Structure 1
Amino acid sequence: MKNRSNLDKFSLWLLAWPIFIEVFLQTLLGTVDTLMVSRISDDAVAVVGFSNQLFNALTTLFITIAGGAGILIAQKLGSKRTEDARTIAVIAVKASGMIGLLISIVLYLQPHFIARLLNLPEHLLPLSDTYISIAGGGMVLSALMAALSTVIRNTGNTRGPMYTAVGINIIHVLLNYGFIFGAFGFPQWGLTGVSISTLVSRLLAVLLLFYMFIHSFERKVGLADIRLKDSKLFKEVLRIGWPLGVNMSCWVFSQLVIYTFLATLGTKELAARTYMNTLESFCFMLGYAFALAAQIQIAHLYGAKRTKEAYKSAYKALYVGLIVVSFNALLLYLLGKRLLGLFTDDKEIIAMGISLLALNFLLQPGKMINMALGNALNAVGDTRYMMVISIASMGIVATGCSYLFGIHLGWGLIGIYCCMIADEYVRGFLVFIRWRDRKVLRKIEASQGDSLSGQQVHAVRGVRLEA
């Protein structure tokens, strides 16, 4: 009964629905941020969008550890090595926290230099100094949130991070409303208040996640575990994690570079892309939930050497995801003008956004292929392949072609967006071919065959000795 209960915990749907709600609420958090900040000014929106791209880029530095650890935790639990899973979890949280602290110090001390380095328009620098120093100074909290959520989720407990997301969303919305509009007796601090609201929400989330983390394994995590070390297991984390980190950083840094291209086009293009980022998130979040759930399930099945089930799980997530994201993209296009009108009254920005929403219908299926099958390859540890194709496609197609067509040839925002679509489909085709070939899964199947042959030889020898 216990084994059956453990298997049920790692079923695709039971893993996916809490992830969906968590992602939905996080997306809602971003939407509320953008919507409320838009009441300050379109310039403030541009700064928040630009700064968040920077934060996402820096996030990859600690996601390298957390992502690799999450995959290994699910694999170790699948192979019944629970103490190894626990050790990996503790090491990952410590390492991510230390990296996050270093990033926080740099962002707090040098916001102006960083904004100038990334070509932010001159008139936006005062706002960026405020937002980057305060919100960026809390990156250590983002690092701990990422590590703790990943660990907890990969033990099969996807509900815990979901409940946390519910709580911080409510708190964040209330604090935002208070600081921006001067409600509930709060001072009307504008973008500074939004930054403080973000910090407070993240701090409360970290406290809740720490409590769940302590009780996530058979043996409770305590203060004595701060000294816990295991170089062999940490090398395993890095073996999977560093290519995963490079893969993720390729996407984030390509987006950051593209934002610098947009900054040269103008503030309106930058604001339009920021609004589109918010709306796009609602398209793929359910598909992403299935893709992430599939990664956890596949890693668990891979650890248990149940390769056939692992192979089919990726396609199941892909098929469901394609239907969902395509429907969402169509719905978003039909309602696009009204939705964009919630954020801004600028007709030029709205016109740009509507054009991008039409192209978004082409973007989302390609993105879903990457999410489902890319996560499946990550789950079985094939992260180096993902790294190689990401460096090539994102460097040449997404970034290089965006400059060529969007800036050099003067196609502007539409040209850049088309290059992003092309990148998704190039990578999508490559991950599909890789997963279909089952290269990593065949190695496990071969090792199982060798093990079975060895057992048969020993059995025959035993029979001969008895005879």
Structure 2
Amino acid sequence: MDTAKKMTLFGLVWPIMIELFLQFMIGTADTLMVSRISDDAVAVVGISNQFFQAVIVLFALISSGAGIVISQKLGAGKEEVARRVASMAFVLTLGIGVVVSLFLFVQTEMFVQMLQVPVQLHAMTAQYIRIVGGGTIVMAAVLTLSTIIRSTGNTKGPMLVAVGMNLVHILGNYIFIFGAFGLPKWGLFGVSLSTVGSRLLALIVLFYIFRKSFAVFIQWRDFRIFNRPLLGEVAKVGLPMAFSSASWTVSQVVIFSMVATMGAEQLAARTYLNTLESFSFLAGWSFAMAVQIQVAHLFGAGQMERAYRSLYKALFWGELVVIVNTLLLFSFGRLILGAFTDNPHIIAVVIGILALDLILQPLKMWNMPLGNSLNAVGDTQYVMKVGIIVMWIVAVGGTYLLGIKSGWLLHGVYIAMIMDEGIRGFLVQRRWIARKRLPREAAAAADVRAVGLQV
């Protein structure tokens, strides 16, 4: 299979961009539909989904590590090795997913208390987490399969599946929220069923694409094969990435929990902001995702200089898109927000924060492709260390000092996040410019190919 033709930046970007954009539009429709239940329901979905993001990073060790190793092996012309990595990653995801799903289903009340959800939202949150959390195995499998398929250069398949999954989800929301076709109005309970059901359908389709993603069709017997050295290679790349993702996501849960103590209106405003902000950087994030695949492939092929330059091409286009989108959001934010809520206090908070987004979102875009590119060349430990130290000291600590202690509420939260993104961006930029890992690692990869060494 010739993957080189599929590894151009824009060839990788456009399906990812369409997928993210349509997911955003459908996710916005999802929030809009849930808001017809109540602002409380929106707050429940917001804090629960933030919690689920923290849970899913448990699988980042597998999906992220496997994705980079697969791209590197394909770049080095070792497709059979990449195929083995893909099979092992899927089996491991299912095994861990079963354990996590059962734990979330049984221990729901413990997690609701941990999130410091306002008392009036307690019952709704518990119900939503129990159902959607019980389906974590499906969510994790969808994530892993999508990552593996994209790493082969096929970004169109996951795009089409994601679009179909979200359309099914919206249809399910419509049926259960509004009681369409004579069915009962199940509200947030119905939304949770729709979420899990649509993901299950996506899993079935992705599994079919996954088995056909390599030159040799993946057989059922392949799922019984485990190669410890390969697993160690995935862990070496994936473990720091998992810790880094966990640090970021758990820090966001902690921040969300602190926002929850500010009251239901502040929590609802943060949830609406999450939806609106997705518009600012989703296209830019597609460049960050694409450049990770491309850099890993080029790095595996020993093309060090091209790997280095490709980052800056992605960074330029990503920043351009993010800045334009953020300006549009700032200009039309009040009009857009009016479709979600008529609460004047929530609207006032959101509009004030959108001004800070003019600084925050470009800084986020600065960070994303730089961090992804460093991960793609195996410099995952540096990204992890910078992330853990700066996120918790600046983002979380700043949220407490500025948001709660100083009484600035969400404005304090966003100022802390701006400082966090700026410091991390500066540090990873310096690391990439230094190119400390590229010469040594690329030379080693070239030596391996020269002697025809097989893993």
1:397 to 390, 394, 401: 394
1:154 to 151, 157, 164: 151
Residue 286 of structure 2 aligns with which residue? 289
2:108 to 91, 107, 111: 111
Give the direction of change, closer, same or farther, for the CA distance of 1:171–1:297 in structure 2 (3 Å limit): same
Whether 1:164 and 2:161 are equivalent positions in the alignment is yes
Residue 186 of structure 2 aligns with which residue? 189
C-alpha distance in 1 between matches for 2:393 and 2:314: 29
Query: 8 Å contact 1:63–1:96 — kept in the other structure?
Result: no
SS of alignment partner, residue 232 of structure 1: helix
Residue 461 of structure 1 aligns with which residue? none
C-alpha distance in 1 between matches for 2:43 and 2:394: 25
1:127 to 116, 124, 129: 124
Residue 239 of structure 1 aligns with which residue? 236
Query: 8 Å contact 2:288–2:369 — kept in the other structure?
Result: yes
1:121-164 deviation per Cα after TM superposition (whole angstroms, max 9, x unaligned): 11111101110011111111110001000000000000000010
Query: 8 Å contact 2:104–2:133 — kept in the other structure?
Result: yes
Residue 424 of structure 1 aligns with which residue? 421
Whether 1:45 and 2:42 are equivalent positions in the alignment is yes
Between Structure 1 and Structure 2, whose CA radius of gyration is higher? 1
Structure 1's unaligned 5+ residue stretches are 456-467
The Cα shift of 1:451 comes to 9.1
Give the direction of change, closer, same or farther, for the CA distance of 1:448–1:82 in structure 2 (3 Å limit): closer
Amino acid corresponding to residue 423 of structure 1 in structure 2: D
C-alpha distance in 2 between matches for 1:165 and 1:226: 25
Whether 1:257 and 2:254 are equivalent positions in the alignment is yes
Query: 8 Å contact 1:9–1:156 — kept in the other structure?
Result: yes
Amino acid corresponding to residue 82 of structure 1 in structure 2: E
**Alpha carbon RMSD of aligned pairs, Å?**
1.6
C-alpha distance in 2 between matches for 1:445 and 1:256: 38
The Cα shift of 1:446 comes to 4.9
2:73 to 49, 73, 76: 76
Residue 360 of structure 2 aligns with which residue? 363
C-alpha distance in 2 between matches for 1:26 and 1:65: 24
Residue 321 of structure 2 aligns with which residue? 324
Structure 2's unaligned 5+ residue stretches are none
C-alpha distance in 2 between matches for 1:414 and 1:231: 49
The Cα shift of 1:26 comes to 2.3
Give the direction of change, closer, same or farther, for the CA distance of 1:445–1:245 in structure 2 (3 Å limit): closer
Whether 1:201 and 2:213 are equivalent positions in the alignment is no
The Cα shift of 1:186 comes to 2.5
The Cα shift of 1:448 comes to 7.6
Give the direction of change, closer, same or farther, for the CA distance of 1:311–1:43 in structure 2 (3 Å limit): same
C-alpha distance in 1 between matches for 2:69 and 2:446: 23
Query: 8 Å contact 2:302–2:446 — kept in the other structure?
Result: no
Whether 1:299 and 2:288 are equivalent positions in the alignment is no
The Cα shift of 1:44 comes to 0.7
Residue 279 of structure 1 aligns with which residue? 276
Equivalent pairs, count: 451
Following TM superposition, the consecutive aligned residue runs of length 4 or more in structure 1 with deviations greater than 6 angstroms are 448-452
C-alpha distance in 1 between matches for 2:110 and 2:444: 54
Give the direction of change, closer, same or farther, for the CA distance of 1:403–1:81 in structure 2 (3 Å limit): same
C-alpha distance in 1 between matches for 2:445 and 2:51: 45
Amino acid corresponding to residue 94 of structure 2 in structure 1: G
C-alpha distance in 2 between matches for 1:224 and 1:172: 33
C-alpha distance in 2 between matches for 1:57 and 1:309: 34
The Cα shift of 1:416 comes to 0.8
The Cα shift of 1:321 comes to 0.6
Residue 332 of structure 2 aligns with which residue? 335
The Cα shift of 1:168 comes to 1.1
The Cα shift of 1:40 comes to 0.4
C-alpha distance in 2 between matches for 1:231 and 1:131: 38
Q: TM-score, normalised by structure 2?
A: 0.97
Amino acid corresponding to residue 239 of structure 1 in structure 2: K
The Cα shift of 1:270 comes to 0.3
After superposition, residues 64-103 of structure 1 pair within 5 angstroms as: 64-103=61-100
C-alpha distance in 1 between matches for 2:445 and 2:269: 53
C-alpha distance in 1 between matches for 2:95 and 2:445: 40
Q: TM-score, normalised by structure 1?
A: 0.94
Amino acid corresponding to residue 405 of structure 1 in structure 2: L
Amino acid corresponding to residue 274 of structure 2 in structure 1: N
C-alpha distance in 2 between matches for 1:450 and 1:331: 50
C-alpha distance in 2 between matches for 1:147 and 1:449: 29
1:408 to 400, 405, 410: 405
Query: 8 Å contact 1:112–1:128 — kept in the other structure?
Result: no
Amino acid corresponding to residue 91 of structure 2 in structure 1: K
Give the direction of change, closer, same or farther, for the CA distance of 1:189–1:451 in structure 2 (3 Å limit): closer
SS of alignment partner, residue 198 of structure 2: helix
Give the direction of change, closer, same or farther, for the CA distance of 1:65–1:448 in structure 2 (3 Å limit): closer
C-alpha distance in 2 between matches for 1:285 and 1:151: 20
Query: 8 Å contact 2:260–2:266 — kept in the other structure?
Result: yes
Give the direction of change, closer, same or farther, for the CA distance of 1:70–1:449 in structure 2 (3 Å limit): closer
Give the direction of change, closer, same or farther, for the CA distance of 1:270–1:396 in structure 2 (3 Å limit): same
1:14-66 deviation per Cα after TM superposition (whole angstroms, max 9, x unaligned): 10000111112222332222111110011111111010011000100012211
Query: 8 Å contact 1:307–1:444 — kept in the other structure?
Result: no
Amino acid corresponding to residue 231 of structure 1 in structure 2: R
Residue 460 of structure 1 aligns with which residue? none
Residue 385 of structure 1 aligns with which residue? 382
Query: 8 Å contact 2:300–2:445 — kept in the other structure?
Result: no
